[in-house]
Structure 1
Amino acid sequence: MNNQKKQPKPWYKVWWFWVLVVIVLFVLGGMMSGSGGSSSSSSSKPNTHRVSPFKKTYKVGQIANYKGYKFKVNKVKYFAGNSMDTPKSGNQYVICNVTIKNDSHEKQDYNAMDFELNADGDTTDFDEILTSGNYDNNTLDSGSLDKGATVSGNLIGQAKKNAKLKLEYQPSFLDDKTIKVNLN
């Protein structure tokens, strides 16, 4: 019979050590990515970098800019519906004509699903389809824009007739910032 005690594993071969290493790496990675964004905005010219497109609410006709991705709500139309296209009771269709321009130095994707309609705090997608009129002939889809290219199209949603309306654009699902445009 062997009465020798079992030798403990070296510290770097214990499973919990590697779990701890992974957690520390995630925390450090998050801190570095968070501090990278704030250090770039606190440069030697703080007054020119403090104004962020996310702190300003735009109006119809004004150009919003996010890293060279520019968009503008050209006009807003309201449609009460007809026998072929009927909104929910008390609602109307909201048709926003937008133009997107790529002023960055690389190809950029665009997607109609990046835009949402906020009506009195209730945010919904611009996912309505109208079968009558000219509205769906120019619906904004998704695609990629080369440097300097533009695309225009309609975003169609539904909202209460007297609601305070905003178009909201979120540049990335990873980013919690939102650009807003007052529609009325």
Structure 2
Amino acid sequence: MNKDQQNGRKPWFKKWWVWALVVFGLIMAGGALSGGENDSASNKSETASSAKSQSSNDRQLKDSYHVGQVVNYKGYKFKVNRVTYYDGSQLDKPKSGNRYVICNVTIKNDTGKKQSYTPMDFQLNANGNSTNMMEILTSEKHSRDTLESGDLNPGASVTGNLIGQAKRDADLKLQYQPSIWNDETVKVALY
């Protein structure tokens, strides 16, 4: 006989509150398991729906666009408004055989959350050779309204110039690859 039995006490596992806790724990575990299955099925359904929606949005992003066309990727919009060419001046001299290419672009954020932009997302592709669009010109006419880096709140837009240089007879495309597009590159034919 142990000490508790000698004193007339029940062992701990024979007390009513212990069994009430065990039953309560089993009910909670059963509810968690069955709720987890429903949540899992619901999550799978939402994930499949989201993937289907995302893949249809990805298909809307074409490989090539033209000046004036709006590129829309999940509410992040971009458009080349116009392209001008500049032969340079005494102070602004492009490389031999080149001319400056000035692209006026608009970026609009309709994604519902803040998005960053930078001129480093753009490259001028001339006959397959891609270079940056961050040339600096001294001429006020050509240097004003240069696109800077920044953040766009939902619904906001920014317009600015990107400046590069290329050969006169080159087949020109503006390549745009912001980080929000997950390695997708869009090309706008500049003719």
Q: Residue 80 of structure 1 aligns with which residue?
A: 87
CA deviation profile, 1:65-100 (whole Å, cap 9, x unmatched)? 122110100000000111110000000000000011
Q: Residue 60 of structure 1 aligns with which residue?
A: 67
Tell me which of 134, 144, 151 is aligned to 2:141.
134
Change over 3 Å in CA distance of 1:107–1:173 after alignment to 2: closer
Greater helix fraction, Structure 1 or Structure 2: 2
Q: Does the 8 Å CA contact 1:41/1:49 hold for their aligned counterparts? A: no
Is 1:108 the counterpart of 2:115? The answer is yes
Q: Tell me how many residue pairs correspond in the alignment.
A: 145
Q: Does the 8 Å CA contact 2:63/2:185 hold for their aligned counterparts? A: no
Cα displacement (A) at 1:52: 3.4
Q: How many percent of aligned residue pairs carry the same amino acid? A: 58
Structure 2 spans left out of the alignment, 5+ residues: 1-47
CA deviation profile, 1:111-135 (whole Å, cap 9, x unmatched)? 0110110000000000100001422
Q: How does 1:1-184 map to 2 (within 5 A)?
A: 43=52, 48-49=56-57, 51-53=59-61, 55-172=62-179, 175-184=182-191
Structure 1-normalised TM-score? 0.72
Give the partner amino acid of 1:126.
M
Higher Rg of the two aligned structures: 2
Give the partner amino acid of 1:135.
H
Structure 2-normalised TM-score? 0.69
Cα displacement (A) at 1:175: 3.1
Moved over 3 A (4+): 39-42
Structure 1 spans left out of the alignment, 5+ residues: 1-38
Rounded Cα–Cα distance in structure 2 between residues aligned with 1:78 and 1:119: 14
